[in-house]
Structure 1
C-alpha cells in the first residue's frame, strides 16, 4: 500500500517564487553575460519586492547547445557564471534575507560531453556502459536514436536535441523487437538513481533548498500511466524526507494529480498538457507559437477566451493533491512567451497579475514580468532557443531592464557582447522608472505579494469559490477564504466593461482596485479593471 506523502515544507506553502535566467539577469563583470555575483547584488531588490524563494535555471558546466539544459558536470558551476563558491555565497546571502534558493535539476539527460556519456560511448564494458540507452549496432537506429560518437557500435536515444542523450532509467514495458529495453530496476537504471541522489546531496549540503526537476515525467520510457516514473520519484522523496526534510521537490510534469502523489511537493499546472492554463493567461497574441498554444486567451483584450477549461481542470486537480502538495502557476517562463506579448501590454497585465497572486496556488514570477518586460520577436537563435519550426524562445530571455542607462543597466559591457540584445523599444519598462511610479505594475505586484503574505486566505491553504465566469464569460469573480478570513476578487481582462450579478452584502472597502465598483446586485468593472474586497460577515 502506497503511503500518503507528508505535507510540503511550510516555507514552500507560503512561497512566492521568482525564476531567474542567470545569463540574462545581472552582469557583474561586464562580459555581457549575467552571473551569480550579479544576482547576489540584486537580492535587496527581490527582498523589497517580497520574493521568498529563487529558482535558478541551470548554472552548471555545459557546452550550452541548449542554454545549460545540456549539463556536462552537475557539481561544477559554469565558469561564465562564476564558480561553486559564488553559488554558495549567493545561497548564503539569500538565506540572510529570508529567501530560499531552488536549483534546476536536469534529471533525464546529460550533455553528450558529460564524462558519463563519453565513457558509455567508448564501449560496452565499464560502470557507465548501461547508464544511457543503446541499441546493439549503429545500423539499428529507430526514431530518436543517433549513431555513437565513440568506439561503441550502437546508437543512443536522445531526449530533445541530439546533444542530449537520455539517461537510462529503464522502460516500463518489454518489447522483444527492442532488446535494449532494460527494466527500471536493472543495474544501469539503479546506478542513475543513485547518481541523482549524489547530485542533490552535493548541493543540499552546500545550502540549496531544493530542486525544480526538468522533464520530471520523462525518465522511465514507455511509461504510459506513469507507474514506474512515480515509483522512482517516491523513492527519491523518501530519501529526501529522511536526509533533508526541509528540502523542496518541484516538478516540470504538468499533471499535479500524478506528480504530487508521486512525491513532488509542487507541480506546474498543465505546463505541457492541453491548453487549459496556456489559454487562460499565456497565449502569445500575434506571435507564432507552438501549436498547443493556439486559440483565444482569456486574459486578452478581445474577450474571446474562456476560463471554463482551466476551472474544470482545476476542480479535478484540487482534491487529488489536497494536503500533500500544491500547484504552481507561472506568469511565464524561459520556454514560453512572456505575459507581455504581441498586443498584450500595459494595463492589460494588471488583472493577470491580480489573478496570479490571489489564486490558491504557489505563484512563480518570471524575471521581468513584474515590470511587464515583453516578448521580443525576430531575435537570432541563441543556444538552441528554437522550439519547433516557428517559435524562438530567445524573445523571452532578453536582459533584465533595470534602468535607462547603457544596456538597460544589465551590463557595463559592449552592447555587441551581450548574451542577447536588450529590447530595442524606446518605451521599454524598467525597474527604476516603475519604482518612481506608484501606479506601476511593479508596485501593484509588490502590494499583491504583501497582501498574500499577510492574509493566508490568498495562499494555497485557502478555499476558492468561483462566483462568476465559470461559463466562460467576463468578469472572473471568486471568493477566497481561510479560517474566518474572506475576500472577494474580481478581474476583467478584456477592454470592454463587464458586470457580474451576485450578492455583495458585507463587503468592506477594497484593499486593491482599479475601475471596479460594487453596486446593488453585483460588481461592475471597467476594461482591464480589478478589485479585491475584504468581507465582514
Structure 2
C-alpha cells in the first residue's frame, strides 16, 4: 500500500513493558493482581523509563487459558476490576507519559462467548467454523454440545472455538470452507473494528494482536490474511492514525508489509530469537535441537542466524514498520533461567536497548526475576510439553514474605512466589546503584537521549562472535560479551572511543578486550 500512513513516531521511539495482570500487583488481597494494583505501581514504570504498557488479556473469561479465551471483548474481567478501573489506569498512565496497549485475541473466543452460544444452537450461523463430520486437521474438531450438533473447529484448547474469517481456498465438496467474503467472515471483520474502536475511544493506544497469522484458514503465503490486515490498517489510518497494531506473528517480513505496524521476533516461529536467548521453558542455555544459544555462559552459541533473520526482515519491511524484540513473555522462559545469571541478563539488556528494534521488557526481567521450575499448572499454562507457569510468578516488589505483591496468604496467590531466599526485588535494587534495575534505567535513558541507538539509525556489525560488536550510526559502538570467558578482538579501523556506559571492556589502540559477562557503549 503506497498510501499507508507512517508508523506513529511514539512507537518508533517506544520502550514497551509487558504486564501479566494477574501476577503484577494485587490491591484487594485476593491473591490475584488487578488494575488498581497496577495503577498504584505506575511510578515504578515511569522511573524505569518505559513509554508504553502492554497488558495481557484482561477481559471477561472463564480463564481456561489465562484470559486468551475471551467471553466478552468489551468488559474487564471482575477479578481485575471494572471498565472504570481500566479508564483510570489509562488516565494515570497518560499523566506519567505512558501509553496503554491491550491484548486483542481475534482468532477465537471462549465457548462461553454469546456469539458462540448463539452459533452452537443456530444452524446456518457461520460466525464459527462448523462441519457435520470430523475432517482434517482431526485434532481441531470438537463435538458440539448444543442443539445444532455437528463439530466446530477450535484453534487451541477445545474451549477456544475458531472465529470464521473464511478459507483462502474454498471447496464446494467441503462446505465448512466459507469464502472470505461470506456473511460470517464479514461480520467478524466488522466486529474487530467495533472492538478496537470501543477501546480507542477510551484512550487505549493500540493492541498486541494474538496469533495474528491464524485468521484465514488454509492460506498459503498468508495472502488473504494479509489482505484482511491491510484492510484493517486502512481503516486505522483513516480513523485512528496514532494507534498501533503489534502482531504476534513472528515473521515481520510478512506481517509488516501486510499492514501491521510491528511484529515480534518470537521463540516459536523460526530460529531468530531462539538462537539469541533459548527455546523457552526449562532451558539450560540451549535452544531447539540442543544447540546453544548466543547468550550461553560457555560461549558456544552463534548469533549469525539472528542476524540473517534480522537482515531479511529489514529488507522486506523497507521502512514501513518495525521489529519488536522481547526479553521474554508469558509463554517462554525469562532471561534468568536455569544456569543463566543476572550478569548475563545485564549483557542482554545492553544488546536489547541498543539494537534498532522496539525493545519489550517482560515484567520482572528488569530486576532479574528467574524462571521458576516445578510449579503447578495454572489456567492452561501447561500446553503440550511446554510448562509456561514458571514465567508467570508474582512480581517481586520487596523483601517481605509476600514480596509486596499481595496481602493474601501465600497459599492464595495466583501462583507461588519464587522460593529462592535470594530472589531479587524492586525495593532492594532501588537502593543499590549497581543493581540490574539501575542499569536498565540508565540504558533506557541512554536510548531515549541518543537517537543513534534507536530504531531510526543503521546498524553495522563489526564482529558476529564473542564479543559481539556493532556500530550504531556514525557515532556509537556497542560491545557485548555474554560468555563467562574473556575475549579479545583487533579492530584497527576504529577511531578513538569515549566510554559512555562500560563494564569490563577496554578499547585501546584498535584492540578490544572484553572480560567475562562484559559490555560497553562507546562514543566514537
Tell whether the structures are fold-level matches, with TM greater than 0.5.
yes
TM-superposition CA deviations, 1:135-181 (whole Å, max 9, x none): 03579994410111200121000001110000000001123442210
1:417 paired to 2:412: yes
CA distance in 2, matches of 1:397, 1:290: 21
TM-score, length basis structure 1: 0.95
1:498 to 460, 473, 487: 487
Question: Is the contact made by 2:16 and 2:50 (CA closer than 8 Å) also made in structure 1?
Answer: yes
Corresponding residue number in structure 1 for 2:425: 430
Q: How does 1:134-149 map to 2 (within 5 A)?
A: 134-137=130-133, 142-149=138-145
Partner SS for 1:81: coil
Q: How does 1:347-496 map to 2 (within 5 A)?
A: 347-389=343-385, 391-469=386-464, 473-481=465-473, 486-496=475-485
Partner SS for 2:156: coil
Partner SS for 1:364: strand
Corresponding residue number in structure 1 for 2:255: 259
CA distance in 1, matches of 2:165, 2:143: 20
1:175 paired to 2:174: no
Identify if the C-alpha distance between structure 1 residues 501 and 138 changes in structure 2 by more than 3 Å, giving closer, same or farther: closer
Question: Is the contact made by 2:281 and 2:388 (CA closer than 8 Å) also made in structure 1?
Answer: no
CA distance in 2, matches of 1:217, 1:139: 22
Q: How does 1:73-472 map to 2 (within 5 A)?
A: 73-125=72-124, 129-137=125-133, 142-284=138-280, 287=283, 292=288, 294-389=290-385, 391-469=386-464
1:437, distance to aligned residue in structure 2 (A)? 1.1
Question: Is the contact made by 1:32 and 1:417 (CA closer than 8 Å) also made in structure 2?
Answer: yes
CA distance in 2, matches of 1:392, 1:512: 37
Identify if the C-alpha distance between structure 1 residues 289 and 182 changes in structure 2 by more than 3 Å, giving closer, same or farther: farther
Partner SS for 2:499: coil
Partner SS for 2:131: coil
1:531 paired to 2:520: yes
Corresponding residue number in structure 2 for 1:513: 502
Q: How many residues get paired?
A: 524
Moved more, 284-293 or 514-523: 284-293
Question: Is the contact made by 2:265 and 2:272 (CA closer than 8 Å) also made in structure 1?
Answer: no
Question: Is the contact made by 2:282 and 2:333 (CA closer than 8 Å) also made in structure 1?
Answer: no
CA distance in 1, matches of 2:388, 2:458: 36
Moved more, 35-44 or 136-145: 136-145
Question: Is the contact made by 2:284 and 2:338 (CA closer than 8 Å) also made in structure 1?
Answer: no
CA distance in 2, matches of 1:420, 1:57: 16
CA distance in 1, matches of 2:279, 2:517: 17
Question: Is the contact made by 2:483 and 2:516 (CA closer than 8 Å) also made in structure 1?
Answer: yes
Question: Is the contact made by 1:510 and 1:531 (CA closer than 8 Å) also made in structure 2?
Answer: yes
1:224, distance to aligned residue in structure 2 (A)? 1.8
CA distance in 1, matches of 2:409, 2:487: 49
State the Cα RMSD in Å.
Answer: 1.7
* Runs of 5+ unmatched residues, structure 2: none
TM-superposition CA deviations, 1:344-381 (whole Å, max 9, x none): 01211111110010000000000000000000000000
Question: Is the contact made by 1:140 and 1:155 (CA closer than 8 Å) also made in structure 2?
Answer: no
Identify if the C-alpha distance between structure 1 residues 27 and 91 changes in structure 2 by more than 3 Å, giving closer, same or farther: same
Moved more, 314-323 or 370-379: 314-323
TM-score, length basis structure 2: 0.97
1:319, distance to aligned residue in structure 2 (A)? 2.0
CA distance in 2, matches of 1:212, 1:36: 18
